[in-house]
Amino acid sequence: MPGKYMLNFDTSELPQEEDEYIILGSGIAGLYTSLAASCAGSSVTVLTKHAMMDTSTDKAQGGIAAALGDNDSPALHQEDTLVAGVGLCDSEAVVTLVSEGPDRVRELIELGAIFDCDSNGLALTREGAHSQRRILHASGDATGAEIQRVLTHHVKENEKIRVLENHYVVDLLVRENTCYGVLAYDQEAKILKVFRGKVIVLATGGLGRLFEHNTNPEIATGDGIAIAFRAGAEVMDMEFIQFHPTVLNITGAPRFLISEAVRGEGAYLRNSKGCRFMTGYHAQAELAPRDVVVRAILKEMALTGSNKVYLDLTHLDPEVIKLRFPNITKTCLDYNLDITVDCIPVAPAAHYMMGGVKTNLLGETSIRRLYACGEVACPGVHGANRLASNSLLDGLVFGGRIVNETKHILQDYRPQYREFACDRLLEPVDIDFAAVRAELEVLMGQKVGPVRSGTGLKEALDFFDYWSCLYRHEVENTGQMEVKNMLLVGELVAEAALARRESRGGHCRVDYPDTLKRWQKHIIFRR
Coil/strand/helix, residue 32: helix
HEC string for 131-190: CCCCEECCCCCCHHHHHHHHHHHHHHHCCCEEEECCEEEEEEEEECCEEEEEEEEECCCC
Cα 160 to Cα 34: distance, rounded to the nearest angstrom: 9
Cα 416 to Cα 434: distance, rounded to the nearest angstrom: 40
SS3 content of the chain, % helix, strand, coil (to 5): 40, 20, 40
Cα 384 to Cα 66: distance, rounded to the nearest angstrom: 20
Cα 71 to Cα 133: distance, rounded to the nearest angstrom: 9
The residues that bridge with 245 in the sheet, in sequence order, are none
The candidate with the shortest Cα–Cα distance to 389, out of 92, 120, 147, is 147
Choosing from 104, 290, 452, 509, which is the catalytic residue?
290
DSSP designation for 214 = B
> How many CB atoms are closer than 10 A to CB 176?
7
Interior angle at CA 381, CA 109 and CA 356, nearest 5: 105
CA separation, residue 342 to residues 30, 273, 335, 338 (Å): 39, 15, 11, 5
CA separation, residue 291 to residues 26, 63, 67, 504, 508 (Å): 29, 19, 23, 9, 9
Q: How far apart are the first and last CA of the chain?
A: 8
> How many CB atoms are closer than 10 A to CB 211?
27
Cα 498 to Cα 457: distance, rounded to the nearest angstrom: 6
The candidate with the shortest Cα–Cα distance to 449, out of 304, 305, 306, 297, is 297
DSSP designation for 267 = P
| Catalytic-residue membership of 290 | yes
The candidate with the shortest Cα–Cα distance to 493, out of 439, 456, 438, is 456
Positions marked active-site: 290
